[in-house]
Amino acid sequence: MDARLLTIALLALSPAPSLAQPAAAADDDARRWKNEFHLKPVAIDSTATTSATLGLDYRYVGTYSRPPLKRTAVGADEFTVDDFAGKTLTYAKGEVLANGSLVASKAKSPNKLIELRADGLYVRDSRAVTLQGGFVGKFETDQGLDDRQLMYGVTAAATRFGLLGKRGDIGSAILSFGTVDPSRDAERKRLLGRLEAYQRWELELTYSRPVNGVEWLRSIDLGGRAFKEVGAPDAIRRAGLHDHTWGVLRLNLKQPYFIQYSGGSLPFDKKSERAIKAGLSLKLD
């Protein structure tokens, strides 16, 4: 690990409820349509920079859900365990998402990728696993909006409680495949002479688990993302732009402290970066 990474000083104020504005909605509407918007000030130091930089992590999610296809236990005096353990819940939903970091200097961002996403999904939830599948479209750009591309394709996800046998742990796997249509990509154009659509696999794995009996450590989060271009031209391969992998490990310490290490590259990153966030979460409300 870069020695400088060990001397990181970073403060992340999160989450900031006074900045978060979930939309008010009537009860009936809330089940169908939901908005959430969050801003979180952060400071980041990484191998990309010689000094720390300030920024904002942001996240917007709007979700529309159709009512469940079935209604069981209606008219009964009691719910039984089987009502929740033995039955499958199915419904359709659509959502839009904006997710990323805004930094004071785009050159100082450890990862450049900004995503705007929309999807339409079918959800099949059972006690054993929650499955989701459908169509996804994404607008991907970098911090300076210099490079831009559309991605559209199919996606599927599986999530399970008790994934690795530890009581309380949970994890997800999300696999997507689609066409990437770059409208502006200076590096790709320089290498190929022109911009053409290509196909790409994308895999995302996450895992979270509680830690019992350790006073200073509450839980652990792990995450990873991998992107792989199908049939990438030699010039793209030689430049190392045909695949990207990125991972994060976060130790959630005794509140409000945490340590987070991330490394790797995402689309639009020309090389791998590593970054540590070590800080605390403060309640501002």
Partner 1 sequence: MATGRTGRTSWTERNMACVAAYNILENDLLLNQFEDIHVPFAGAGSRKLSDVCAYFPKFPVSPMDLRGRAHQMARQYLIAVVKNYTGRKEDRMLSAEEALMDFTALFESDKATLLQLAQATDDVFRFKDE
Contact 147, 120 (CB under 8 A): no
Segment interacting with partner 1 (CB under 8 A) among 44-52, 91-99, 140-148, 227-235: 91-99
Q: Which is nearer to partner 1, 78 or 234 (CB)?
A: 78
Stretch that binds partner 1, among 84-92, 183-191, 232-240, 267-275 (CB under 8 A): 84-92
* Candidate residues 6, 71, 165, 271; the one interacting with partner 1 per rule CB under 8 A: 71
Which residue in the set 45, 57, 140, 269 belongs to the binding site for partner 1 (CB under 8 A)?
57
Q: Does 73 bind partner 1 (CB under 8 A)?
A: yes
**Residue 158 has which token pair?**
């599986």
34 binds partner 1 (CB under 8 A): yes
By the rule CB under 8 A, 240 interacts with partner 1: no
Closest CB 161 distance from partner 1, rounded Å: 4
Cβ atoms < 10 Å from Cβ of 11: 15
Size of the chain in residues: 285
Residue 191, helix vs strand vs coil: helix
Q: Which single residue is written with the structure tokens 């900031």?
A: 16
- The pair of three-digit structure tokens given for residue 105, joined into one six-digit string: 């200097």
CB of 187 to partner 1, least distance (A): 25
Q: Whole-angstrom Cα distance, residue 250 to residue 90?
A: 33
Q: Of 35, 208, 245, 272, which lies in the binding site for partner 1, with binding defined by CB under 8 A?
A: 208
Residue with tokens 């959630």: 252
Sites for partner 1 among residues 246-265 (CB under 8 A)? 248, 250, 252, 254-255, 258, 260, 262
DSSP bridge pairs for 278: 259
Quick one: 223 exposed, middle or buried, by C-beta within 10 A (0-12, 13-18, 19+)? middle
Q: Does 234 bind partner 1 (CB under 8 A)?
A: no
Nearest-angstrom CA–CA distance, 260 and 277: 5
- By the rule CB under 8 A, 68 interacts with partner 1: yes
Question: In this structure, are residues 99 and 119 in contact, taking their beta carbons and an 8 Å threshold?
Answer: no
One character per residue 105-144, x = contact with partner 1 (rule: CB under 8 A):
------------x-x-x-x-x-x--x-x------------
64 contributes a contact to partner 1 by CB under 8 A: no
- Quote the Cα angle for 38-42-48, to 5°: 125
Write the binding mask 152 to 191 for partner 1: x where contact by CB under 8 A, - elsewhere: ---x-xxxxx-----xxxx-x-x-----------------
